[in-house]
Every structure is written in C-alpha cells, then in structure tokens.
Chain A
Amino acid sequence: MYVYDEFDEKFVRERVRQFRGQVEKRIDGSLTEDEFKPLRLMNGLYLQLHAYMLRVAIPYGTLDSRQMRQLALIADKWDKGYGHFTTRQNIQYNWPKLKDVPDILDALADVSMHAIQTSGNCIRNVTADHFAGAAADEIEDPRPTAELLRQWSTDHPEFQFLPRKFKIAISGAPNDRAVTKAHDIGVRMVSNDAGEPGYEIIVGGGLGRTPMVGKVIREFLPKAELLPYLEAILQVYNLRGRRDNKYKARIKILVHEAGLEEIKSAVEVAYERIKPEFQRPSDELVARIAQFFEPPQFNNVQTTAFEQEIDKNPALRSFVETNVAEHRNPAYGIVTISLKPVGGTPGDATSEQMRVVADLAEQYGHDELRISHEQNIVLPHVRKADIPAIYQALKEVGLATANIGLISDIIACPGMDYCALATARSIPIAQEISTRFSELKLEHEIGEMKIKISGCINACGHHHVGHIGILGLDKAGVENYQITLGGDATETMALGERAGPGFAADELIPALERLINAYLEIREGSEETFLQSYRRLGSNPFVAALYPEAERNAA
C-alpha cells in the first residue's frame, strides 16, 4: 500500500479545509449554486435525483483493512449504512447531507483517502487490473506506475480544465482485466525484443454515446518516458480537443476526426519539445513508490487439507471453481467476493459486510483488498488452505455467492434509481435477471457470460462491451431497453451490435431467456462460450431468438 508522504497529507488536508469554507459560504448564502457547483464537483460531490452523492476515489482499486473500515464507518455515521462500488473502482455514498461532507472528507483524509478529481474535466482516478500484483499471468505489477500517474495528474496545473474528463487505465498482464481499450489512454505493460520492460500506449478509446475501441499510438515506450509522453498526449488534446460541443469533446473524437497518424505525429512533436525540460520523477521517488508495492511475504503451506475440504463440501467447491482465480504463487489463490447476490443491487455492500471483508483481509489476506471494475471486492493474496474459513465467514454475511463471470455477475450503473442523467432504471433489470436465472438453475450451465447494463447512453454500465449489453432509454415516456450482442471488454475488445428494436421492461426478461435458450441449443458443446458462439455464427440466430415475431412474419 502506498503511504502518503508529508506533501500528500498536507495537500489533502488543505483541500478539505478549503472545501469546508466553501460549504459554509454556500450554506450561509454567500455562494450561489452556479458559483459552488464547480467547487463541489472538484471534491466529488454530485447532486442526484433524491440527494447528494459523494464519489470517493480508491486509487487503482487498492485499499487496506483500515481504509475499508473507515468506508464502513462513513456509511454508518453519515449515510444509510451502505456504499456502492462503481465501474471506476470508486465508492459512492448516495445520501450525504451537505453540511456533513467536509467531516466525511476529513474522515477519509485520516486514512489517506479523498474525493479529489472524481469529477470534472480533469484526469480522473487512474484504474488498474484488480488482480495486480497477484495474477499468474502478470508481467509486472502496474500499480507503481498507476501511483506515479496519480501523483503526476493530481492537481496538475495545466490539466484542470481539459475539454472533457479524461480516464486512464493500466494493465500489467496480457489478459486485459482493466478495459484499457475503452479509456482515453490505456497503458499496457509489455517488453520489447531486447526484453526490456516498457509500455504500449493506447489512445482514444471510450464508450458513451460514441463508442470507440482505443488505438495503439506507441507500440513500445521505455518506462522512464511514460510521464513526458502522456504529458505530450494531454497537451495535444488540451489544445485541439473540441470545446464547442460537450458530446464531441473527448479525445476519442479528436483521434477519430483528425486520424490516428496526424495525432500521433502531433504527439511526437510535443514529446520532442517537452522531453529535454521535463522533470522526470527522481530515482528516489520511483524507488519509494515501488517499495510500497513489494509482494507480501508469502507463507506457503501444504494444500492437501484444502483439497480434502473441497471434496467434502460441494458448495465450497462451487465457490472455489467460480470465485477463485490463479495466483502467481501456487499455494495461494485470488478470491473474488461477489457483490451480486441473487436479487441484489450490483456493487452495493453494507457497512457490516465491509467490516467482515476488512477483517478477512487482515487475518488471511496480507491486509490487501481490491475493488474491481466489475463491482466486486477482491482478496488478492490468500492461502488456499485458508479459503474454507474465508468462505464460511463470507457466507455468514451473504457474501459467498458463487457467480463470478456468470450471468448474474452483472455490471449495472445506478440508473434512474439514483442518477440525474439516467433515462431509465438499471438496477431492477439486474435484479430481475439474477433472480430469474437463479430460479432456472441454468447459471453454471450457461457458463461465462458478461451482462452489462447502462441506464443512459453515457454507458457507465459498459453495455457496449457486454456479451449481452442492455441500454435503458425513455421511449415516449416509457422505460425501454435496447439489447446489443457480441461485445467484449478484454484485449480482444469488440463493441456489441444492436440486435433490433428495444423491449419494454416486462418483455425484456422473456426475451433474454429466449436468447439464452437459443445459445444453449446451438453451441458446440458446453465449452463454447456465448461470445464464441456469437463469433462463430454471427448475429442471425440470436436476433431470431430475440424477435420470433419478425421471424414468423418474414417466413
């Protein structure tokens, strides 16, 4: 875990102090909403449908037990006893009172956390692979780089008023779990022919109303060149990105309109100019950051007892098969704790659940926790021998759902239950899908399936890259849901294709059932996933299942 130095601590405390004064001025009427709004947004405070919402950054999704307990305390003391984990590895509180927000921010600062740059047209919280430092397939832990990017981008004087928000994701493994191709900048750790470590830089990806797959702008960038090169990209974007139209202001539009080659050469020109004078981070700083991400002292123990436990307990076996991923140390596993109980709200955790998870991290997990962009919590380093005890403890607080990567492990944005921008609700759809497919007991039979739901075209629920994507719209005053098929969020990223006209809320679940049944019938054996079937067969059989009427009419 990165530990704040004196500068970080002072900076965060000073921002809380400033915001406390701003809130006081707003409450006593000396600041109007127009004056206050940009100030509150700079500190992560939004106004939603029913209340304020505070978005707290969890840098690159990493936190420890002390921080998780503090998030639980905030939920109890100033909110309604729960928090919502988001697709950007943040946590959102849905019911804070304006006067309490400075106290909440102070409580966050007590555990080296904040809500800075979780909103506004700046570089947002840098996200990373949630298995960073633990995954068996990893080239290198991306978090020291993510922390360097955090320090570079926090309060960067030149990039506080970009044309639009700017999101960076970083992955250290060939299997992309950080959706790097759907970010303004994606950073992937690679090595060149000489075996030297460096980065592949992807630019101009994004979802939202104009979804784009990011393009490689630099195949290999030496590690030491990352900050000046990204500074060059941001400079080009800051100058050339459109400010006349909010909907065309992201860097993806600039790259699309100008063309990759032109942007690439503009970036190279800026980079050459910046290079000589750019103050690179000192070796001391890089070393200081790196030390906080040293792997824990692994304590290998025999796993024979673990194998025996699994053989005795089918529920535990199912949990292990579904929720435990391969760790770089064979005696260890990566446990993903599902925040998608049957019929529950994706990404929500109660304060009690947060405390249990914190205790487990402390007792069994080298005090490390991660939040995934798929809205689950990860214990990245646990001994396999301890998994039965962890499973038991999770079960007692409703956190042992064995569904990671399955049809009920749904990403859903808050939708019109909370969000002021939404055009329809997302959460009830997710609840209905998980309830229905649990009743059908088909979940494990269906296998790998990513359903992603957004309540408006801004696509916070990543619907474009869901194997099945669902987009909630307002169609003449009624909630209506469009389905996209064949999306993929990984290194083989693809944008889903719209299947046809949308469905009313009560038609949607039967339509999905038809779709899934069609897949189960036409797949080549149980090993072929939905996405593989879709790629092999194209959209026709799936569209036909969704719209049997059209099929009959055409016949």
Chain B
Amino acid sequence: MARAFTPKMLTANDLFDGDVIYMTASGEWSRHLSDVAIFEEEAAANAALSEANQQHDRLIGPYLVDARYSADGTPEATHFREEFRSRGPSNYPHGKQTEA
C-alpha cells in the first residue's frame, strides 16, 4: 500500500555557492526556511519538483522533504537534518545562522 502523503517542502542547493535554498509560494527561490511553501497536495509537490529539475543553470539536487507549520504559523523542518541545513554547522557561527 502506498504511504499516505505528508506535507512537503521543496529544497535544493544553489549552483554558485552551494547554499541551501527553498521554493516559495510564488515559485521563487529563497535562502530562508521561513519563506518556504509547504505543499499539502502530492500532485502540486511533484509538479514543482519536475519544474525544479529543469533549472540546471541555478540549482543542484532539488528534492521534496517533510515540513510543517509551527504553532506560530512559520514553516519548520520535521527532521533534524533539515533543521541543520536551515541553520549551518553547530561548531562555528557560519552559514545561514550568521546571515539572518
């Protein structure tokens, strides 16, 4: 039996510096998890992924991954790996956590 669809976000890495990027509701790419669009429908999520797969000239490795809205309505990752991706490494103040 196919697993039930759970809400997803679309993320990738930027071609030029490898930074983590997120697809927003308007189909743009943002560097911040807070801007990400969460797909409640599987078909819409897959369509966005196919579209991203064509964007060779600006991003690498797009994929869909579980996400949800937190209590205050901002998007958040459900898995710790995505949480780390949204921040940066824990041993130095490098990456997104310093650029906010």
Contact = CB atoms under 8 A, between A and B. Distances in A.
B18 A80 contact: no
A49 to B, nearest CB: 6
B72 interface: no
B78 A33 contact: no
Contact of B16 (A48, A95, A97, A428): A97
Interface in B33-47: none
For this complex, into which size category does the number of interface residues on chain A fall? 20 to 34
B17 A479 contact: no
B56 interface: yes
Contact of A418 (B56, B57, B78, B89): B89
A149 interface: no
Q: Chain B: interface secondary structure?
A: loop
Contacts of A95: 94
A98 B16 contact: yes
Given A29-B56, A47-B60, A478-B80, A427 B91 contact: yes
B20 A49 contact: yes
Contacts of B25: none
A477 interface: yes
Contacts of B84: 49, 416-417, 425
A52 B57 contact: no
B75 interface: no
A27 interface: yes
A223 interface: no
Nearest to B56: A32
Interface string A412-424: 0000111000000
Contacts of A27: 15-16
Contact of A47 (B61, B78, B91, B95): B61
A395 interface: no
| Interface magnitude class on chain B | 20 to 34
Nearest to A425: B90
A345 B91 CA distance: 7
Nearest to A428: B90
Contacts of A49: 20, 81, 84-85
A50 B56 contact: no
B15 A50 contact: no
Nearest to B57: A29
A97 B17 contact: yes
Contacts of A32: 56
A389 B57 CA distance: 54
Given A32-B56, A95-B94, A99-B16, A50 B88 contact: yes
Interface string B61-100: 1000000000000000011110011001111101110000
A316 interface: no
B30 interface: no
B66 to A, nearest CB: 10
A510 B96 CA distance: 32
Contacts of A29: 56-57
A51 B92 CA distance: 14
Contact of B91 (A48, A52, A417): A417
A248 interface: no
B89 A50 contact: yes
Interface of B: 13, 15-20, 56-57, 60-61, 78-81, 84-85, 88-92, 94-96
30 contacts: A27-B15, A27-B16, A28-B57, A29-B57, A33-B61, A49-B20, A49-B81, A49-B85, A50-B18, A50-B19, A50-B96, A51-B19, A51-B95, A52-B17, A80-B92, A97-B16, A97-B17, A98-B15, A98-B16, A98-B17, A99-B16, A345-B92, A416-B80, A417-B91, A418-B89, A425-B84, A427-B90, A428-B90, A474-B81, A478-B80
Given A51-B18, A95-B94, A474-B81, 9 more contacts: A28-B57, A47-B60, A49-B84, A50-B89, A50-B94, A51-B17, A51-B95, A98-B17, A477-B80
Interface of A: 26-29, 32-33, 47-52, 80, 94-95, 97-99, 345, 416-418, 425, 427-428, 431, 474, 477-479
Q: What are the nearest 7 A-B pairs in CB distance?
A: A29-B57, A417-B89, A51-B18, A52-B18, A32-B56, A50-B95, A345-B91
